[in-house]
Amino acid sequence: MKVYGIMEEAIQETMDAMDIKERSFKRLSKNCIQISLRAGTSRGRYARRSYRSHHYSVSLCWHGFERFIRAMLEQGASRVHTSLGDWTSVGAFQDDLTRLANVNVGSMVHHLYLYEDSKCECIE
């Protein structure tokens, strides 16, 4: 994901507050940071279970991505870009959640939609 118009410190503070980590963190320009996220631990909040078994991984669940993107936009990021969308405001992101819920993130054989990606232990 690419986050525009926000300081590295704000991104790190958000990740710390959510207990998520980065797989990679790279400044692409003075205005753009490319980041790949993961759960803090395989048993922590936002850790996803695998599709076929109940093993946990450090892959971030949909709830973690959704809350991180929302936090970035609320804190003043001018834009958040992922392979699934491009948002410039919390309202635009909120309006797009229905479409995102119906995106197949599984394989062609074993469909898995983001709204079903609740193979996690997120506590509301």
pLDDT digits (tens, 9 = 90+) for 28-85: 999 999 999 988 877 778 877 666 656 666 778 888 888 999 999 999 999 999 988 9
Residue 65 belongs to a domain = yes
Number of folded domains in the chain? 1
Model pLDDT, residue 55? 65
Residue 28 lies in a domain: yes
CA atoms within 13 A on the CB side of 1: 23
**Mean pLDDT, rounded, for 6-35:** 93
- 72 lies in a domain? yes
At residue 115, the pLDDT reads: 59
Give the mean pLDDT of 76-97. Answer: 93
Range of the domain at 14: 2-116
Exposure string for 62-78, b = 16+ CB within 10 A, e = fewer: bbbbbbbbbbbbeeebe
- Full-model pTM: 0.84
Residue, of 81 and 109, whose pLDDT is higher? 81
On the question of pLDDT at 114 being above 70, the answer is no
Would 121 be classed as within a structural domain? no
Whether residue 66 lies inside any domain: the answer is yes
Which long-range contacts does 59-65 make (Cβ < 8 Å, 24+ apart)?
60/20, 61/117, 61/118, 61/119, 61/120, 61/122, 62/114, 62/115, 62/117, 62/118, 63/118, 63/120, 63/122, 64/18, 64/20, 64/37, 64/39, 64/122, 65/37
